[in-house]
Every structure is written in structure tokens, then in C-alpha cells.
């Protein structure tokens, strides 16, 4: 889309700086004003451009929900899948064509609510997936229901007296399940988030980045937290960066301090490494790996 | 094109239906399988897990059947031929992503070695109760193709056909075995690779600028581009236009769903397959499939020996249903006898299509064993009198 503003003349049309990576014909997007998801999309697009990777080899997979719509706005091979199943779908893509850089971008309800089982197993396998989880503490698309990430005391439409369940601490879940890269940022930390995504693009294995994002329409309204700008002020005042923090100490309480940073960054054999090494040992010359470009049967 | 010889275990073998199905998949060019263990289907993936590392294939045991089916759909978008294998309880979990495969028009094969249901039911014993689930199991309107082998040889042969049909029509093809065929060991002859026709994934010739993942170019089936080839396409389980972009309105939905359904219904004559015997003078026709067809054949022979003019129709493809043939027969025979290991599923279809022109006699068995042929003979006798 070309955006003409009052400060430009008719002949000067501004293009979105990430336009080559966006499906501009689909703009305006579905997200609410001051929702945090667009910020994450921009950081991801910037990180991809800076990374120098071949964009033709990048696939983005999303599940269902507000963040599930991310795959639909990026001009990459994009898959908008079923609720909770982005990770196993992405696992199939990666194993079918191992040369792909497969990114999963989806929400908290999708990836660790309905998709929680897939999340721990994908991390356990340390399969080569870059996972960006946008955590807005609530089910936004369906109208503000309680999520497995909703802090205790926070209100949601299905916890009208405040949430009494214990939420997941996602970096701890990812790290203890076997992820080889774990970080958390907020939508205020756009440079650190972009840098972190770029760093993770160049790493291998299961890479997990949680992004705390405002949901002004539901989470903030139900909890009287003000506007998206108020959320930015809150992140500014209460987020602290503690790289290498113990992931057992990253719980988020209602309007509490949010610990950000990179908590895990260690090279471990990936699913494909382990598979190749094991079959090579066991089968020797009889082992035929799936070619990087995939196991497709070509016309002869 | 001809099969890749690497996947084809040419020769005469003594195999059970599960193993034969696995060999059929490898011969058909399947190179990605995701599955979760479940009786009585697990031997299929055990065979594949053993052979795949020597064929350039990847088997992964997923955390559940939801994940297995999702991985199969994902891998199919790399151009790889993909399959999953399960039985009733797992088939129920797969329905979500079977719907996704139907909506995204993803070629893949879903093997269900049927056992007694509902729920955990009879894990080690035969059933044919998933016939309607295979057809209607995921929500919304869509069509599937389903094949039913009656022997290990057919488990091999028809698995190849299942893969070919998945490629031609771009949909999940159901391979409905049953525990008896799956665990029955018989001679299976696997031909030379160059005697096996396999349908390749046909990739679009268009440039990325010209291509839309759901353009149909006047036909019914879109062209395929695989992930990683520079097309930068988008696909979704939402109702979508020819660019694969979500469109939330009744007009687009109507056109999309009608095309998903139409691509199978309009081609039903080419897809439907059955075998028939003794139709020339038949007054009664026995309609059956899978293991029950082999039992029913004994009943047909017995009834014939008693002078009853009975024909035999064995369904090889059960979905789409052979409506045209049943309708023709309904005009000339008095009755259909439909034995099946469920409480009446294919019988409902026969009754629907016969539309009152011929009487339908179900012969039901809830599962756990095959029919006693005498029970079928008895109904043939009643239907003929």
C-alpha cells in the first residue's frame, strides 16, 4: 500500500519500509489499533531482511487466533493452519524439505493452550524451527477468554471475578522441554527483539522467542489498563533485562515486573543431526538421507 | 511415470495386509510418514520405519494423531508424497487436519485399519464401522475418495492407486482397511518397478508473478507449487480466493465448497470401482466390501447352489459411492443384501440410491468377528422369496 500523508506532496508517496516482505494488497490488516502483533511482524521482516537468508526458502506457519493471521500478511510461503497445529505442520514442512527456514509465528492460546503438547515435543526434539510466540495473556480473536498465560487476578471474559489458575511461564516451559534458544521481549523492545530474531535465524534447533504484546481491545479493557500507549509506558517502567536469568524465576504476575532477555543459547544436536548421525552409524552406506530440496519424485 | 525402483520390493512375498500396505506406499513413492502407534495398524509404520532410511524417506513418530495428520499435510506442501496410518480412535483425532487437507487441497493418504468401535472398543478385533466417518468425519461439506482392500495383495495394489488418486484430485484419500485384512497373511506379488504407474506431483509451469495457488484455469483442480520454490504463496484453512487469501463472504464460500465437492462428484465415473459377478439373471444382489466381501462370496455360492439367482457386487472404491450402478441394478433386481461389520452404513447408501425401487436387506454384525456366511445366506434366501 502506498500511504499519502499530509506532510507529503501528491508526487511523494511513502512506501512501507518492509513492503517487499508484506502482502500490501491485504492491508489494512485485521488487527486492532495499538495491538502488538504488527510490531512483531515488522521486527521479523526487518530481521529477515538483515539476515541475508534466501527469502524463497523461508516458510511461515501460523495457527489460529489474532497472531494466527501473521502468516497471511508476509510475502513468503505462508501457511495458516488449524488451531494449535502450527508446530506439527511446520515439522512436516521442515522434514519434507530440510533446506527450508521454517518459522512459526502464533499466539499463546494457540501454541501453549490447545497446542501445548506439540510445543513440548517440538522443543524436546530440538527440531529446526524458529518459534515466535506473541503473548497477549488472553484469547483475543474469540473475545477475551482466559488463556494458559493469563496472570492470576487478571480478568478475562471467562474469569469475570479474576483468574485463579496458575499460568505457564513460557521461557521456563521451553527451556525445560529442551529448546536450544530461549528469549523474552516486549513490544517496546523493538531493537532487541529484531536483533534476537536475527540471531535466532542464524542458529539451529528449536529457537523460542516470547514477545509480550498489548491487547488493548480485550485484555487491557477488561483489566482497566488503558490504551496501547499505556502498555508501552508500563513495559518501559517495569520490564527489566536480565540475560541468562534462571528460567525458574520468570513468572509473570498481574502487572508485575516482566523479566526480559536471552535466557538460553546453547548449540545442541537437532532432530535432523541426531537422525543423520544415528542412521549413518547404524546403516552405513545403506542410509539415504532425504535430499535438502525434498524427497519429491520428479518427472523422468 | 514409472515407480522409483528403490521403493519397489519386486518378487513374491508372504505378507500381511499391513505390511503390504506399507510396501505399496513405498512403491507409490511415499517418502514422508508421520504416525502414532495404534493397534491394529502399527505394522504398517513399523515396516516403513525399517525401510525408509534406505530410500531417502523420513518417518517420524509424532506425539499424537492430531500432530501426525498436521505433519503429513505440512510435508505434502514440499512436494513429497505423504501418508499417515491409524485406527478408529486415532482416525477420530485426525479429522481436524483431514478437513484442513481437504480445504487446502493437499494430496495425502490416510490409512485406517478398522477395529471395533465406538471409542476404544475392540482394539485387536475387526470392524467396518468407520465407513461414514471416512466420508463425513470432519465438519463441513467436502468429498473424499475411499478404497477398501479385501486381501494383502489388494492392500499393496490399492495403496498405489490411493496415492495416484490423491495426486490427480488433490485431496486426502482414505485407505479403509480392516483388522482382518491388515493381519491376514497371504501371497503378495510385487511387480517390477517399471510395471507400476505412479502419478507424479505436477508442478505449475507458471512464473511466481502469474501463479495463484487456487487458480483453476477453467478446470476444477488447481496447479501446485511447493514451498521453497520462490512462489511465496499463501494457503489457509479459511475460505479463500484463487490467491489463497481469506475471503469471508457467502459467495466465495459457496463457489469454493461447490468446487471441492464437484471435483469428486463430477468425476465419480472415473473414480468409482467395483467388481461384479452373476448379474445377468440376478434377482438379488449382495453388496459388500473389505473382508466381508470374502465371507459374502461364500454365501453367494451357497445361495447359487440352492438355485437362487443372486449377483455379487464388491465395492473397491466406496467413496464416491457407485450411485449410477446401484440405481441401474435397483431397476432390475428385487432386493439388495448388504452385509457389513457395522450396524448399517453402506446399507443406508444402497437404500438411498435404490430409492424404493428395490428392497435393501442389511446383514449386520457389530464387530469383533467376521460374519457367519450362513447368516448372509439366510438373508439372501429371505430376500429372494
* Inter-chain touch B63–A79, beta carbons under 8 Å: no
Q: How far apart are CA A257 and CA A48, in angstroms?
A: 30
Residues B59 and B182 in one domain: yes
If you average pLDDT over every residue of chain A, what do you get?
95
* Inter-chain touch A92–B34, beta carbons under 8 Å: yes
pLDDT tens readout for residues B308-361: 999 999 999 999 999 999 999 999 999 999 999 999 999 999 999 999 999 999
pLDDT score for A296: 67
Residues B41 and B190 in one domain: yes
- Classify residue B235: in a domain, yes or no: no
Instruction: Show which of B195, B227, B258 is a domain's final residue.
Output: B195
Instruction: Show which of B195, B217, B238 is a domain's final residue.
Output: B195
Chain A hits for B90, CB-CB cut-off 8 Å, are none
pLDDT score for A81: 98
Instruction: Show which of B195, B226, B243 is a domain's final residue.
Output: B195
- Classify residue B77: in a domain, yes or no: yes
Distance of CA B179 to the CA centre of its chain: 15
- B104 to chain A nearest CA, in Å? 9
- Classify residue B202: in a domain, yes or no: no
Question: Which CATH number covers residue A64?
Answer: 3.40.50.970
Question: Which CATH number covers residue B97?
Answer: 3.40.50.970
Q: How far apart are CA B289 and CA B130, in angstroms?
A: 13
- Classify residue B44: in a domain, yes or no: yes
Block residue for cell numbers 452404513: B345
pLDDT score for A6: 52
- B64 to chain A nearest CA, in Å? 9
Name the stretches of chain B with pLDDT < 70.
none
Q: Residue B294, Cβ neighbours under 10 Å: how many?
A: 17
* Inter-chain touch B62–A91, beta carbons under 8 Å: yes
**CA separation, residue B336 to residues A188, B304, B327, B330 (Å):** 71, 15, 11, 8
- Classify residue B217: in a domain, yes or no: no
- Classify residue A85: in a domain, yes or no: yes
Burial of A280 by CB count in 10 Å (0-12 exposed, 13-18 middle, 19+ buried)?
A: middle
- Classify residue A32: in a domain, yes or no: yes
pLDDT tens readout for residues A205-246: 999 999 999 999 999 999 999 999 999 999 999 999 999 999
- Classify residue B3: in a domain, yes or no: no
Residues B53 and B148 in one domain: yes
Q: What are phi and psi of B310, to 5 degrees?
A: -120, 135
Q: How far apart are CA A143 and CA A222, in angstroms?
A: 11
Query: Is pLDDT of A247 > 50?
Result: yes
- Classify residue B96: in a domain, yes or no: yes
pLDDT tens readout for residues A98-134: 999 999 999 999 999 999 999 999 999 999 999 999 9
Contact at 8 Å (CB) between A76 and A52? no
Peptide bond into B320 cis (omega under 30): yes
Residue B171, classed as helix, strand or coil, is: coil
Q: How far apart are CA B266 and CA B281, in angstroms?
A: 31
Cβ neighbours of residue A148 under 8 Å, at least 6 residues apart? A108, A109, A112, A113, A116, A165, A167, A168
- Classify residue A300: in a domain, yes or no: no
pLDDT tens readout for residues A148-174: 999 999 999 999 999 999 999 999 999
Nearest CA in chain A to B235: A79
Q: ∠ at Cα B52 (B131, B36), nearest 5°? A: 45
Cell numbers representing residue B12 in the block: 513374491
Q: Which helix (H) or strand (E) holds A260?
A: strand A258-265
Range of the domain at B138: 11-195
pLDDT score for A4: 47
Query: Is pLDDT of A297 > 90?
Result: no
Domain count for chain B? 2
Chain A hits for B205, CB-CB cut-off 8 Å, are none
Chain B hits for A295, CB-CB cut-off 8 Å, are 31-32, 56-58, 78, 80
Q: Between A5 and B78, where is the model more confident?
A: B78
Range of the domain at A140: 24-283
Query: Is pLDDT of A1 > 60?
Result: no
Residues B168 and B294 in one domain: no
Q: How far apart are CA A255 and CA B149, in angstroms?
A: 61
* Inter-chain touch B233–A289, beta carbons under 8 Å: no
Q: ∠ at Cα B305 (B302, B308), nearest 5°? A: 90
Residue B130, classed as helix, strand or coil, is: coil
- Packing angle of the helix pair A190-201, A37-51 (nearest 10 deg): 50
E strands, chain B, where? 11-16, 30-35, 58-61, 81-86, 108-116, 122-126, 145-147, 172-178, 185-190, 234-236, 274-277, 284-289, 310-315, 317-319, 335-340, 359-364
Q: ∠ at Cα A190 (A187, A194), nearest 5°? A: 120
Residues B290 and B185 in one domain: no
- Classify residue B33: in a domain, yes or no: yes
Q: ∠ at Cα B158 (B105, B142), nearest 5°? A: 30
Chain A hits for B57, CB-CB cut-off 8 Å, are 290, 295
Give the side-chain half-sphere CA count within 13 A for B288.
Answer: 32
pLDDT score for A295: 74
- Classify residue A220: in a domain, yes or no: yes
Chain B hits for A95, CB-CB cut-off 8 Å, are 32, 58, 60, 71, 75
Residue B337: closest CA among B364, B356, B318: B364
- A178 to chain B nearest CA, in Å? 15
- Give me Rg for the CA atoms of chain B: 21
pLDDT tens readout for residues A6-59: 555 555 678 999 999 999 999 999 999 999 999 999 999 999 999 999 999 999
Q: How far apart are CA B267 and CA B168, in angstroms?
A: 11
Amino acid at each position: 500500500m502506498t500511504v499519502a500523508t499530509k506532510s507529503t506532496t501528491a508526487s511523494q508517496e511513502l512506501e512501507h519500509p518492509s513492503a517487499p516482505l508484506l502482502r500490501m494488497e491485504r492491508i489494512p490488516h485485521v488487527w486492532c489499533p495499538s495491538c502488538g502483533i504488527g510490531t512483531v511482524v515488522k521486527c521479523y521482516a526487518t530481521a529477515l531482511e538483515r539476515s541475508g537468508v534466501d527469502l524463497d526458502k523461508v516458510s511461515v506457519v501460523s495457527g489460529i487466533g489474532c497472531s494466527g493471521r501473521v502468516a497471511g500478511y508476509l510475502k513468503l510461503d505462508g501457511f495458516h493452519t488449524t488451531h494449535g497445529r502450527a508446530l506439527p505442520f511446520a515439522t512436516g514442512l521442515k522434514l519434507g524439505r530440510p533446506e527450508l527456514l521454517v518459522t512459526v509465528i502464533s499466539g499463546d492460546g494457540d501454541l501453549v493452550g490447545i497446542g501445548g503438547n506439540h510445543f513440548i515435543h517440538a522443543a524436546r526434539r530440538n527440531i529446526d524451527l524458529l518459534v515466535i510466540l506473541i503473548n497477549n495473556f488472553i484469547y483475543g480473536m474469540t473475545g477475551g477468554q482466559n488463556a494458559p498465560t493469563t496472570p492470576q487476578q487478571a480478568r478475562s471474559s471467562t474469569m469475570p471475578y479474576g483468574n485463579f489458575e496458575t499460568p505457564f511461564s513460557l521461557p521456563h516451559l521451553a527451556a525445560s522441554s529442551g529448546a536450544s534458544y530461549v528469549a523474552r521481549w516486549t513490544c517496546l523492545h523493538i531493537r532487541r527483539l529484531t536483533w534476537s530474531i536475527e540471531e535466532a535465524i542464524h542458529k539451529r534447533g528449536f529457537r523460542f522467542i516470547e514477545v509480550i504484546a498489548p491487547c488493548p481491545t480485550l485484555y487491557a479493557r477488561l483489566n482497566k489498563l488503558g490504551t496501547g500507549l499505556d502498555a508501552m509506558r508500563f513495559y518501559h517502567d517495569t520490564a527489566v533485562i536480565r540475560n541468562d536469568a534462571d528460567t525458574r524465576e520468570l513468572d509473570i504476575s498481574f502487572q508485575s515486573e516482566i523479566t526480559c532477555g536471552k535466557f538460553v543459547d546453547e548449540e545442541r544436536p537437532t532432530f535432523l543431526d541426531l537422525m543423520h548421525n544415528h542412521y549413518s552409524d547404524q546403516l552405513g552406506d545403506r542410509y539415504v538421507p532425504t535430499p535438502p530440496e525434498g524427497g519429491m519424485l520428479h518427472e523422468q | 511415470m514409472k515407480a522409483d525402483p528403490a521403493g519397489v520390493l519386486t518378487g513374491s512375498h508372504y505378507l500381511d495386509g499391513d505390511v503390504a500396505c506399507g510396501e505399496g506406499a513405498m512403491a507409490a513413492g511415499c517418502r514422508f510418514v508421520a504416525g502414532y502407534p495404534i493397534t491394529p495398524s502399527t505394522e504398517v509404520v513399523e515396516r516403513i520405519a525399517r525401510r525408509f532410511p534406505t530410500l531417502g524417506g523420513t518417518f517420524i513418530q509424532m506425539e499424537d494423531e492430531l500432530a501426525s495428520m498436521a505433519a503429513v499435510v505440512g510435508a505434502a506442501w514440499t512436494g513429497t508424497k505423504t501418508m499417515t496410518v491409524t485406527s478408529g480412535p486415532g482416525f477420530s483425532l485426525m479429522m481436524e487436519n483431514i478437513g484442513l487437507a481437504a480445504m487446502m487441497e493437499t494430496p495425502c493418504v490416510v490409512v485406517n485399519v478398522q477395529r471395533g468401535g465406538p471409542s476404544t472398543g475392540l482394539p485387536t478385533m475387526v470392524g467396518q464401522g468407520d465407513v461414514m466417518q471416512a466420508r463425513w468425519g470432519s465438519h463441513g461439506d467436502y468429498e473424499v475418495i475411499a478404497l477398501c482392500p479385501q486381501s494383502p495383495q489388494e492392500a499393496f495394489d490399492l495403496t498405489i492407486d490411493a496415492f495416484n488418486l490423491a495426486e490427480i484430485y488433490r485431496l486426502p484419500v482414505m485407505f479403509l482397511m480392516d483388522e482382518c485384512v491388515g493381519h491376514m497373511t497371504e501371497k503378495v506379488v510385487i511387480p517390477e518397478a517399471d510395471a507400476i504407474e505412479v502419478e507424479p506431483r505436477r508442478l505449475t509451469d507458471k512464473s511466481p508473478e502469474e501463479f495463484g495457488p487456487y487458480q483453476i484455469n477453467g478446470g476444477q483442480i488447481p496447479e501446485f507449487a511447493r514451498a521453497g520454490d520462490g512462489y511465496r504463496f499463501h494457503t489457509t484453512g479459511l475460505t479463500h480466493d484463487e490467491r489463497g487469501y481469506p475471503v469471508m463472504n457467502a459467495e466465495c464460500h459457496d463457489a469454493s465448497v461447490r468446487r471441492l465437492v464437484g471435483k469428486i462428484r463430477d468425476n465419480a465415473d472415473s473414480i468409482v470401482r467395483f467388481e461384479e459377478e452373476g448379474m445377468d439373471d440376478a434377482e438379488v444382489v449382495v453388496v459388500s466390501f473389505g473382508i466381508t466381501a470374502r465371507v459374502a462370496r461364500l454365501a453367494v455360492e451357497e445361495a447359487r447352489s440352492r438355485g437362487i439367482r443372486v449377483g455379487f457386487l464388491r465395492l473397491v472404491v466406496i467413496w464416491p459411492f457407485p450411485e449410477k450402478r446401484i440405481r441401474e441394478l435397483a431397476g432390475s433386481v428385487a432386493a439388495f443384501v448388504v452385509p457389513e461389520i457395522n450396524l448399517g452404513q453402506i446399507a443406508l447408501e444402497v437404500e438411498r440410491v435404490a430409492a424404493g425401487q428395490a428392497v435393501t436387506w442389511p446383514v449386520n454384525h457389530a464387530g469383533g468377528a467376521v460374519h457367519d456366511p450362513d447368516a448372509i445366506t439366510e438373508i439372501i434366501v429371505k430376500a429372494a422369496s
